Structure 1
Amino acid sequence: MHAWPASDVPALPGKGRDLRIHDTATGGPVTVDPGPVARIYVCGITPYDATHIGHAATYNAFDLVQRVWLDTQRQIQYVQNVTDIDDPLLERAARDGEDWTGLAERETALFREDMTALRMLPPQHYIGAVEAIPGIVPLVERLCESGAAYVLDGDVYFSVEADPHFGEVSGLDAEAMRLLSAERGGDPERPGKKNPLDPMLWMAAREGEPDWDGGSLGRGRPGWHIECVAIALDHLGMGFDVQGGGSDLAFPHHEMGASHAQALTGEYPFAKAYVHAGMVALDGAKMSKSKGNLVFVSTLRRAGVDPAAIRLSLLAHHYRADWEWTDQVLDEAVARLARWRAAVSRPDGPAAQDLVEEVREALSNDLDAPAALAAVDRWAALQESTGGTDEGAPGVVSRTVDALLGVAL
């Protein structure tokens, strides 16, 4: 599966700072020191109802991670999946009387268009769950052979007790995990499971649903968590730098994925840092496909909203914060974009080297994009009120905003 085209990232004078970011597993900030090649895995969409503002906010956060790393002159190995086979996708296709493969292909194509418009840097490896199945099956077979998995009525389950580190990603107690498991695709009430939290690795073929050859597992399709594990291990290996996604993925998805990988390899940890973006609400409730309270990037673009303004609306909120989308949020972003563009359109301006370092400092401090925006606001206000004599300053500001914030002025 192909990703989307990359926009150019301008080089800035000097060198950026190492990233200090909040790690869900430790509950506090950690300094990520990847070495010359930074490795990141970000969980992708299930391709229906793409791309809503909640999606965009999440991928914007991890786009900033990449931009900080690029500014430190590192190379990046970025992997993202597409869950192009899963119950919600099949349910939506059935509801709309549409072939599930056509739905997945159309929504994935729309997602690519939106990511291109928002100038999100693409992954080097963009992998669909379906194309990963040949690599998933051997992993499930290995878990069965080692005793870390078991069969229940033809379905294969992972035993969470096979990983002594289970629970360390989310830090939740058993009851909280059980409640979230029921809400987020698990089946804790199914009789016969060794532990109510045990997640499915391989679902035996169901009548009327797609299935694939699972070798000794029989025909069926993979569970959600093992999909990402197989892709990450194949392209990044164990101990990669950042596992990313929305905060609703900390449990069960990232918790279970870590345990799958750790049981498979005997190594720890699966990822050095688990980084999670906040949720975006609309009309007082979290944007949700089930609720249908979604604002789509493509709808805004068709209405004539500049993608740079959409991106600025995302950057105005700290990536870990939960926040609400409103018309005012977008109006403020449109106004900010106009001020910035006016400021850099002049032939000279106030010196900008301090601004470069302010933006670098803000982003290296747990991706504090609001602080970065405030720094650019101050420069733009000074430009408007007093101007300056530095002929290179507007270009420096424009390149800084482009390289570090992904906004083209």
Structure 2
Amino acid sequence: MRSWSAPDVPALPGDGVPLTLHDTAADRVLPVDTGMVTDAGEVGVYVCGITPYDSTHLGHAATYVAFDLVVRQLLDNGHGVHYVQNITDVDDPLFERADRDGVDWRELGTGQIDLFRSDMEALSVLPPRDYVGAMESVDEVVRMVERLLAVGAAYRLDDEFPDVYVDHTFTAQFGYESRYDAETMSRFFAEGGGDPERPGKRHPMDALVWRAHREGEPAWESPFGPGRPGWHVECSAIATNRLGATFAVQGGGSDLRFPHHEFSAAHAEAAHGVDRMAGHYVHAGMIGLDGTKMSKSLGNLVFVSRLTADGHDPAAVRLGLYEDHYRSDRDWSAEVLERAEQRLERWRRAVAAAGQRPASEVDGLVREVRGALADDLDTPAALALIDAWSRDVTDVTAAADVTAADGPDSPETPDDSAGDRVRTLCASLLGVAL
């Protein structure tokens, strides 16, 4: 599937700072293992994509902007990055929304995918090298399901609909990614699309990997009968076929911690005989609106396309999302956007006046911002650093204007490249155009 156009990422002089990220499995911040590379020697990053039944809202944007920062930090450290993202373009929520709206599910999906691409371009999000739809990966899923059956991890139900399930106890480490107890996993499994009441399963929490054909649903041929992929195995197949059985970072929103990421890892580990699919499991927090969790069911979504259509600068949207840490559940409001727009304007004024600042101060700012972002993407700290620098520039500029009015004393020799360096810093590491 076609990705979207890549923004310009200017090279930032100096040395990057090795990236650390919070790993959900360990529940602590750890260095990213950049030695977990693909056959081509690149750091593998897999981020779960959207199910295209609604427009890109700020919850989506927060997740993909966060992992855009991850890729930017790795690039700044000189690593090649193989970034992969899926798109679940065949699934029950898509069918349900299409049926509700009286449209073909393929037409609905195509329109929403196009809108997602345009939103990502507007937000200057780096595109994945591989942007893979569920429909185009069916053959890969079939091969993984065959492998799971061959090693004894999967089994078929012998009834009217011979679906294929994976025995979640096959991998002894199951549960390590989310760290939830059995009761919590059982509850989230039921809430997250699982079918614990399905008769014939070996265990209520075994997950579907191949759904046998039902009338009115799309189907593909397979050695175990016509049907379509389960959700979790889709990501397992897409990720491991491009990045290898193990890779550096698996990412998504915190709502994917369980069951999706737990089962995606378990399926890959069972199929490939490895203990751990990803070196880091990284999760972005949820976005609320005016104190209430943002969700489709509540109808309180803020859409990126509507913000930009109303004339709001996408760079300000990014800055608004950076105001709090990516792992925190945080709120969006008109006040957040207003603060972000004011911050963007201050930065742009400071950059325009930065020719009066010595290069050494800008170099120090670059080092400090690199350090903040390398520390588990600490965007609040990075914003504070650039805020402080901007205030200093404004104060010195005002003082210089007063001095010039009072007499002929010459200020310190200006560094005409200072503003360009800060522009490069923000464009390269933050994806913000000044």
TM-score scaled by structure 1? Answer: 0.98
Q: Is the 8 A contact 1:84 1:130 kept in 2?
A: yes
Q: Distance in 2 between matches of 1:292 and 1:207?
A: 31
Residue in structure 1 matched with residue 256 of structure 2 by the alignment: 249
Deviation at 1:74, TM superposition (A): 1.0
Q: Is the 8 A contact 2:63 2:252 kept in 1?
A: yes
Residue in structure 2 matched with residue 392 of structure 1 by the alignment: 417
- Partner of residue 120 from structure 2, selected from 104, 115, 124: 115
Q: Distance in 2 between matches of 1:198 and 1:317?
A: 37
Q: Distance in 2 between matches of 1:226 and 1:43?
A: 12
Deviation at 1:191, TM superposition (A): 2.3
Q: Where do 1:33-112 residues align within 5 Å?
A: 33-35=33-35, 37-112=42-117
Residue in structure 1 matched with residue 369 of structure 2 by the alignment: 359
Q: Is the 8 A contact 2:74 2:81 kept in 1?
A: yes
Q: Where do 1:234-313 residues align within 5 Å?
A: 234-313=241-320
* Structure 1 SS opposite 2:353: coil
Deviation at 1:66, TM superposition (A): 0.7
Residue in structure 1 matched with residue 142 of structure 2 by the alignment: 137
Residue in structure 2 matched with residue 178 of structure 1 by the alignment: 186
Deviation at 1:188, TM superposition (A): 1.3
Q: Distance in 2 between matches of 1:195 and 1:24?
A: 26
Closer, same or farther: CA 198–342 of 1 in aligned 2, 3 Å: same
Identity over the aligned pairs, expressed in percent? 55
> How many residue pairs were aligned?
408
Deviation at 1:49, TM superposition (A): 1.4
* Structure 1 SS opposite 2:355: coil
Q: Distance in 2 between matches of 1:238 and 1:211?
A: 27
> Highest Rg: 1 or 2?
2
State the Cα deviation string for residues 312-353 of structure 1 (Å, max 9, x = none): 111111100000111000000010011111111126133311
Residue in structure 2 matched with residue 189 of structure 1 by the alignment: 197
Residue 210 of structure 1 pairs with residue 235 of structure 2: no
Residue in structure 2 matched with residue 225 of structure 1 by the alignment: 232
Deviation at 1:268, TM superposition (A): 2.0
Q: Is the 8 A contact 2:48 2:235 kept in 1?
A: yes
* Structure 1 SS opposite 2:15: coil
- Partner of residue 323 from structure 1, selected from 309, 322, 330: 330
* Structure 1 SS opposite 2:251: strand
Show structure 1 runs of 4+ deviating over 3 A. none
Q: Distance in 1 between matches of 2:106 and 2:255?
A: 26
Q: Distance in 2 between matches of 1:72 and 1:13?
A: 11
State the Cα deviation string for residues 179-203 of structure 1 (Å, max 9, x = none): 1011111111222211111110001
State the Cα deviation string for residues 49-97 of structure 1 (Å, max 9, x = none): 1200000000011000011111111111000000000100110000000
* Structure 2 SS opposite 1:228: helix
Q: Is the 8 A contact 2:25 2:281 kept in 1?
A: yes
Residue in structure 2 matched with residue 378 of structure 1 by the alignment: 388
Q: Distance in 2 between matches of 1:328 and 1:347?
A: 28
TM-score scaled by structure 2? Answer: 0.92
Q: Which runs of 5+ in 1 are unaligned?
A: none
State the Cα deviation string for residues 214-242 of structure 1 (Å, max 9, x = none): 2x211111000000011011110122000
State the Cα deviation string for residues 9-47 of structure 1 (Å, max 9, x = none): 111111101111100001111101314621100000000
Q: Distance in 1 between matches of 2:292 and 2:166?
A: 33
Q: Which runs of 5+ in 2 are unaligned?
A: 36-40, 398-411
Q: Is the 8 A contact 1:19 1:33 kept in 2?
A: no
Residue in structure 2 matched with residue 368 of structure 1 by the alignment: 378
